[in-house]
């Protein structure tokens, strides 16, 4: 290394976490002294006039007091949030003698954003954060560099820690549909087929010992000449288990099925993305009417959530859906244990149904006595792999096999629907499934 290189390295040592001279200081001092000395030796006043300002600015920077450790802090950034725009504030303490601040901030869109050049007097900076996909991600990493007088001294660059949020899956407002009821006392929002104390009439029958007098239908009793009572349906709450198949995440293009998603938790518009949003929407609808909702990850049963009710349960389920999607990956056999499903609960299986194992699991759950609904989340409009001449034939075989699996579930009494935000198909399927005396 040359002598000049060793001098430059000595001047710039400690770069990053300490105040250090910049290359502009070295060049300003060297060029300023050189021009002044050369102008004096050869008696050229113009060289002295060019070199003197450079030398003076360097001397002013050397005698100016700079110090302190610049500090950049992020506040107002919650750990969880909703998809869309959010605001945060970056507080900056530039230290003594700082003039310019270079900081990396988002520009209203996804990503870390460009570097912004601001005066060091900017103590608080409001930042707009925007991410359009649910899941985990980095929203802000305020890398920064603080410069002193004329940029001749600098502190940094400093790579700041990443700050991110967990964006919860979107919840679509939709009707939950009719549920198979499970009596837990005389509470709930669903009609059972046993007598009770609701407002919906079930039958009118003859008076029996033990009947309450307020149930007597006087109009019918006067016509019949004997006492008759009104019998109503009981109202009960229900248990709902959302069984999420996280073993596969496929999109419309078959050529991309073997390629992992880059920079995102799931493929946007893929089967897992659709299944998670459907599960969150169904959970919100059922919990809104007072039911208990649980979650089962068919690929990793340890990530499930026990059935519960209330707003906190919805928040817990939405967070856990993100955890399930983050841990998604192939598992040879889906698992749905009997202890994970309360007796009489509705089981909603959300899967693309691309293998026979998940079909067998769904049918087995129905044979245990639960009402099971299969929600097909395979993306519509599949496209063949254009990189091979067998792409169209492969797509045709896949579609035929998929339809065979769905038909096998229908033959075993499991209604199969395709998810849509209106949930009309789901409501009709549940109404048929909850009908007494239906054929298994």
Sequential pLDDT tens for the chain (440 residues): 443 343 334 333 444 467 888 888 888 888 888 888 888 888 888 888 888 888 888 887 777 777 788 889 999 888 888 888 888 999 998 888 888 899 999 887 777 889 998 888 888 899 988 888 898 888 899 999 998 887 888 888 899 999 989 999 988 877 545 454 444 444 444 444 444 454 567 678 888 887 888 888 888 888 888 898 888 755 556 789 999 999 999 999 988 887 766 556 678 889 999 999 999 988 998 888 888 999 999 999 999 999 998 899 999 999 999 999 998 888 889 999 988 998 888 899 999 999 999 999 999 999 988 889 999 999 988 999 888 889 899 999 999 999 999 999 999 989 998 886 555 566 667 666 655 444 44
What pLDDT sits at residue 6? 38
What pLDDT sits at residue 400? 95
Q: Phi/psi of residue 405, each to 5°?
A: -65, -45
**DSSP characters for 197-257?**
EEEEEEEEEE--TT--GGGB-HHHHHHHSS-EEEEEEEEE--EEEEEE--S----SBGGGT
What pLDDT sits at residue 14? 40
Instruction: Specify the DSSP element, H or E, that contains 32.
Output: helix 23-42
How far apart are alpha carbons 181 and 257 in whole angstroms? 40
pTM across the whole model: 0.74
How far apart are alpha carbons 407 and 172 in whole angstroms? 29
What pLDDT sits at residue 2? 44
Q: Decide: 378 and 352 in contact? Cβ < 8 Å.
A: yes
Q: Decide: 227 and 207 in contact? Cβ < 8 Å.
A: yes
How far apart are alpha carbons 78 and 227 in whole angstroms? 65
What pLDDT sits at residue 17? 62
Q: For residue range 256-306, what is the model confidence (pLDDT) as tens digits?
A: 887 766 556 678 889 999 999 999 988 998 888 888 999 999 999 999 999
CA nearest 82: which of 134, 35, 121? 134
Burial 56-78 (b: 16+ CB within 10 A, else e): ebbeebeeeebeeebebebeebe
Q: How many CB atoms lie within 10 A of CB 126?
A: 10
Domain ranges of the chain: 16-63, 71-168, 195-233, 240-434
- CATH fold of 71-168, please? Immunoglobulin-like (2.60.40)
How far apart are alpha carbons 330 and 58 in whole angstroms? 63
What pLDDT sits at residue 355? 93
């Amino acid at each position: 290394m040359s002598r000049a290189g060793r001098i430059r390295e000595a001047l710039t040592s400690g770069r990053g976490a300490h105040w250090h001279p910049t290359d502009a200081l070295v060049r300003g001092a060297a060029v300023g002294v050189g021009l002044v000395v050369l102008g004096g030796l050869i008696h050229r006043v113009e060289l002295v006039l060019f070199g003197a300002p450079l030398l003076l600015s360097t001397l002013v920077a050397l005698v100016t007091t700079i110090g302190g450790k610049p500090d950049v802090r992020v506040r107002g950034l919650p750990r969880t949030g909703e998809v869309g725009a959010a605001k945060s504030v970056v507080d900056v303490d530039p230290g003594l003698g700082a003039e310019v601040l270079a900081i990396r901030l988002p520009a209203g869109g996804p990503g870390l954003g460009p570097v912004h050049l601001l005066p060091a007097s900017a103590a608080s900076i409001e930042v707009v954060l925007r991410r359009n996909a649910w899941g985990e991600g980095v929203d802000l990493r305020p890398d920064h560099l603080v410069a002193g007088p004329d940029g001749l001294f600098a502190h940094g660059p400093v790579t700041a820690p990443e700050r991110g949020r967990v964006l919860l899956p979107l919840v679509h407002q939709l009707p939950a549909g009719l549920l198979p009821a499970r009596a837990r006392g005389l509470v709930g929002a669903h009609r059972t087929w046993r007598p009770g104390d609701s407002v919906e009439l079930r039958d009118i029958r003859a008076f029996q010992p033990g009947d309450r007098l307020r149930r007597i239908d006087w109009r019918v009793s006067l016509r019949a000449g004997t006492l008759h009572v009104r019998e109503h349906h009981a109202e009960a709450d229900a248990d709902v288990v959302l069984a999420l198949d996280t073993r596969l995440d496929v999109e419309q293009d078959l050529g991309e099925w073997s390629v992992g998603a880059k920079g995102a938790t799931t493929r946007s518009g893929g089967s897992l993305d659709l299944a998670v949003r459907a599960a969150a929407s169904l959970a919100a609808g059922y919990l809104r009417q007072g039911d208990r909702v649980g979650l089962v990850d068919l690929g990793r049963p340890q990530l499930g959530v026990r059935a519960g009710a209330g707003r906190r349960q919805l928040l817990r389920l939405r967070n856990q859906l993100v955890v399930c999607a983050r841990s998604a990956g192939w598992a040879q056999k889906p698992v749905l244990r009997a202890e994970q499903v309360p007796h009489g609960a509705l089981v909603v299986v959300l899967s693309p149904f691309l293998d026979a194992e998940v079909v067998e699991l769904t049918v087995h759950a129905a044979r245990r006595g639960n009402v099971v609904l299969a929600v097909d989340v395979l993306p519509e409009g599949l496209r063949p792999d254009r990189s091979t001449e067998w792409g169209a034939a492969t797509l045709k075989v896949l579609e035929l096999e998929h339809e065979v699996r769905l038909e096998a579930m229908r033959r075993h009494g499991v209604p199969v629907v395709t998810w849509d935000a209106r949930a009309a198909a789901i409501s009709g399927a549940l109404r048929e499934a909850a009908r007494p005396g239906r054929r298994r």
